[in-house]
Chain A
Amino acid sequence: MGTLDYIWMGIQAVFQGPELFSLFGLPVSVTIVMILAGFLTGIAVGATPGLAGPIAMAIALPILISVFGYTPDALLPVMGFLIGVMKGATIGGAVPAILFNTPGTPDAFMTTLDGFPMTRRGKAKKALRVAHFASASGDTFSDIVLIVCAPFLALLVEAYLDLPEKTALLILSLSFIAAVIGGSPAKGLISTGLGLLAVYVGTGEDFYPRLSMGSPSLSQGFPIATAVLGVLIIGAVLKELEDLWRRKRDSGEIAVHKDEGDQRLHGADIRRLLPYVGRSALIGTAIGALPGIGSTLAATLGYTVGRARYAKKKRPDAPEFGKGASEGIAATEAANSSVSGANLIPVLSLGIPGNAAAVFLILAAESIGGFNPGPSVFRFTTDSVNPELVIAFGLFTAMMVANVLNWTIGGLFMRSMGVMIRVPKHILLPSVLLLTLTAIYVQETRMEAIWFAVGFGVLGYLMRTVAISPLPFVIAFILGGKLEESARQAFAATGGDPWFLFTNPGAALLMAVAFAVILFSARKKKEVA
């Protein structure tokens, strides 16, 4: 088995998987249909203010697992759907930002700055076309970087990192995520600490389930779905409801702006936009490859760099950045869209999720089984087939299929989604809450799970209220078990050396970087204060 054989098997797994129906005599595999369904769902969800990709993933996951079962054959259709949602939501978020000055997703905020002024000038369709072009370009570029880099990074990790280094790498990842998410290293560390504490309840190697306070309910630990969906989704719904109640959501009429003049995107437009798209795609991909740094920062940086270039190159009659320049939309959308593919680099090569979408991909892989994202996936065994590697190349193929869909039908579908702004948020959010609780129940089939999820939801709400990002909590919850297991193995392998993180040079270096990241971020924060 060579590398090309694995790539070919991955492509075949997507296109020649179980057939759902045939079109003009050609079999259409269920994975392709699921990617398409996920992509269209993602655009609709992204275009609906108050909803986001992770909510759709949370609601869909138990249904998908119930439909496809717990066999390795389920991996590609289920994860293909999630990848479709991830990509669709990225472009969908620009729709209400451009048409109604309301970002569908947080990372589309900068899109409102130039998108809505273009709509007011009667150039809404053109603005949507620019957003789609930039978004699809950034996303495709980022996926290519992922496909090229992830296997190499995984091979490097497997070749050079031993157990102590792997433990130190996990600590470094957690420290980095804590330091960069949310802008406050202190609050990031608190979020990480709470996530670790939660995952250690009811687990351990002793007969007595630790930290369970003698309660049979706690002795099994918190199911992963209750913690992840509780903190991420229910917490967000509670906070949104509170904000809604606070604003008493104005029910004013939505202003309608008529399109005027040429709405098409010409070759000259594309040539003018390409330098902005290219720079932003590079920025977004570099940021996305680091776990924890979200697409909102990428969008802000892409926009800032774009504005600097525009100030030098702009025609005298062209609008300023922030006043309806299509370059502003292109710079923002290319940056935030190129984060999604690169964010899967640490997931697939190290098993470390960097954003909420990656968390759900790991959740799906853990629920179904047969695929454990991490360096071991990329073992190019020659004497026998490594099924995880076939799945990895299948996922890359699924991403490329989603990109093809994005380039072909994505723009058209995106432009028809303006209607989603009219979905009333105060009815939508309680429905999402019940949907999430139901999704948790059908997986766990015990009311305790619902109570746990509500409890984690309250925690997520309180964290948001005091500006603590819930993402480090979720990532720590997912990585906590792996961290402890790896530390136990490293401790045993070094003959019970309690200083194994500092006596091994590689591990010591990674630990020094972990401390430096925290100290540097804290010092920077103090300077700002």
Chain B
Amino acid sequence: MVRSSRSNLILGSLVLAFAAAVLALWIPLDTQTGLIEKVRRQVVIGDALAPTVAALFLVLGGGLLVFVERKAPNQPKPSLAGLAFIARLLAIVFVSLLVMRFAGPVAVWFVNAFQGGDLEYRLLRDTAPWKYLGFFLGGTLMISGMVSLAEGRVSRKAVLAAVLAVIVMIFIYDVPFDDLLLPPNGDV
């Protein structure tokens, strides 16, 4: 028994609406030259043409989905539970990246506040152990958080596996190279 649903119709309609917004709003409002321009008495292709072609691909695809493949068999049906799981996963990634970005500078701020020094993270970003702080904490949080989410519980094994994985990554991407910077040391 094949499953028929309205997934393709909904998806096609959303794509057509997005393509219409791109063609009617985004391209005209956010591109300085038109489809074809006259520059020094020569006709040249403007910056709007290529995105218009891209949007036409979307119109064609959305149109085919709505009018031709609307009743295609075995259409996927995204589940809300699955999307909620991915939202939780992305929240872990988001928080971990924030920890990765700010752990080093915050640690330096604490050291300055308690020991009265005037250290700057920017000057320490290529010095161990400072340069590993953000990557280690953020990376460990990211991996252990995702493993715990997949397992449905927080376990010591997940944290240990994360610590090990992050240490291996430091040995892959940083220890052998002078010219590679681990995140977030290129930004701070």
Contacts and interface: CB of A to CB of B under 8 A. Distances in A.
B60 interface: yes
Contacts of B150: 241, 244-245, 249, 426, 429-430
Interface in B146-161: 146-147, 149-152, 158, 161
A466 B32 contact: no
A444 B47 CA distance: 26
Interface string B13-49: 0010001001000110011110010000011111111
B12 interface: yes
Interface in A449-480: 450-451, 454, 458, 461, 465-467, 480
A242 B80 CA distance: 12
Greatest chain A CB density within 10 A among B61, B62, B149 is at B61
Contact of A466 (B7, B45, B152): B7
A439 B69 CA distance: 39
A221 interface: no
A188 interface: yes
Interface stretch (B50-58, B105-113, B116-124): B50-58
Contact of B76 (A212, A244, A246, A465): A465
Contacts of A467: 75-76
B55 A434 contact: no
B30 A211 contact: yes
Interface residues of B, number: 81
B68 interface: yes
A63 B26 CA distance: 38
A437 interface: yes
Nearest to B71: A529
B142 A433 contact: yes
Judged by DSSP, the binding face of A is helix
A187 B76 CA distance: 12
B59 to A, nearest CB: 8
A453 to B, nearest CB: 11
A242 B166 contact: no
A174 B142 CA distance: 37
Interface residues of A, number: 78
B51 to A, nearest CB: 5
A491 B45 contact: yes
Nearest to A174: B57
B53 to A, nearest CB: 7
Contacts of B95: none
Given A174-B57, A435-B172, A461-B86, 7 more contacts: A242-B85, A427-B143, A430-B142, A434-B165, A441-B182, A518-B60, A522-B69
Q: Top 4 nearest A-B pairs by Cβ distance?
A: A445-B186, A193-B57, A189-B61, A496-B43
24 contacts: A174-B57, A193-B19, A193-B60, A196-B54, A196-B57, A204-B31, A210-B48, A242-B89, A248-B152, A430-B147, A431-B143, A431-B165, A434-B139, A438-B139, A438-B183, A454-B93, A465-B76, A467-B76, A487-B50, A522-B69, A523-B68, A529-B68, A529-B69, A529-B71
Interface of A: 62-63, 66-67, 174, 178, 184-194, 196-197, 200, 204-208, 210-213, 238, 241-242, 244-246, 248-249, 426-427, 429-431, 433-435, 437-439, 441-442, 444-447, 450-451, 454, 458, 461, 465-467, 480, 483-484, 487-488, 491-492, 496, 498, 518, 522-523, 525-526, 528-529
